[in-house]
């Protein structure tokens, strides 16, 4: 394996696939800061600089070629520097437990969704944008990789079961739910629960 491919596999593919897998587990996550948002921020930094490190390509050039790369670049700089000279580039992450809702208000857990909140571009799914960015970069390096964002496909029930673990966060101050349903075009849209479910939340002792 070439050095560039080894670097991309180590810094991008493995961290992305690990995060993708972990987000598919029904954890109760602190909405602002957790291991998952930290891993996502670190992945954004790696995505921004991987080609600069391997081939000397400036991020400005890549930002003009890929919208996803530009967003991930903004996230990386916001994470590293906080306030940016151009406030319209600033963004941050949060995480919510995403459930698909049926018309009878029964739900099923899809994944924990990390959302990018961008000052000018609005809300975006981090895993989808990081995937698109990574594919863009992999083609530059002539690496064949076809990632898929994982969603569970379990049974619909009237119960939400989540587990809070110290293994992926320091503290739990608050969590967020994101309910979605398929529209007539087969795309997910945000909805209210409009019903009652039993919340079964377990904690690690």
Domain limits, the chain: 3-203
Interacting residues of 196 by C-beta distance below 8 A, sequence separation 6+: 105, 158
Q: Return per-residue pLDDT of the chain as tens, 205 residues.
A: 688 899 999 999 999 999 999 999 999 999 988 999 999 999 999 999 999 988 999 999 999 999 999 999 999 999 999 888 899 999 999 999 999 999 899 999 999 999 999 999 999 999 999 999 999 999 999 999 999 999 999 999 999 999 998 888 888 888 999 999 988 888 889 999 989 999 999 987 6
The pair phi, psi for residue 34, each rounded to 5°, is -155, 175
Separation of alpha carbons 28 and 203, rounded Å: 9
Distance between CA atoms of residues 30 and 21, nearest Å = 18
pTM, two decimals, is 0.94
Cβ–Cβ under 8 Å, residues 41 and 34: no
């Amino acid at each position: 394996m070439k050095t560039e491919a080894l670097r991309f596999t180590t810094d991008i593919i493995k961290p992305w696939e690990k995060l993708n897998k972990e987000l598919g587990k029904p954890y109760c996550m602190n909405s602002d800061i957790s291991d998952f948002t930290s891993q996502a921020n670190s992945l954004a930094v790696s995505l921004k600089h991987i080609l600069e490190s391997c081939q000397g390509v400036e991020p400005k050039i890549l930002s003009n070629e890929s919208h996803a790369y530009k967003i991930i670049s903004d996230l990386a700089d916001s994470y590293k520097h906080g306030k940016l000279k151009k406030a319209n580039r600033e963004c941050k992450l949060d995480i919510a437990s995403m459930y698909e809702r049926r018309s009878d208000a029964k739900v099923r857990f899809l994944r924990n969704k990390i959302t990018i909140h961008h000052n000018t571009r609005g809300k975006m799914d981090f895993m989808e944008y990081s995937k698109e960015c990574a594919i863009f970069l992999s083609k530059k390096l002539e690496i064949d990789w076809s990632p898929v964002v994982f969603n569970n496909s379990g049974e619909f029930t009237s119960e939400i079961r989540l587990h809070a673990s110290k293994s992926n966060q320091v503290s739990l101050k608050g969590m967020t739910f994101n309910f979605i349903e398929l529209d007539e075009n087969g795309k997910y849209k945000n909805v209210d629960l409009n019903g009652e479910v039993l919340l079964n939340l377990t904690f690690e002792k």
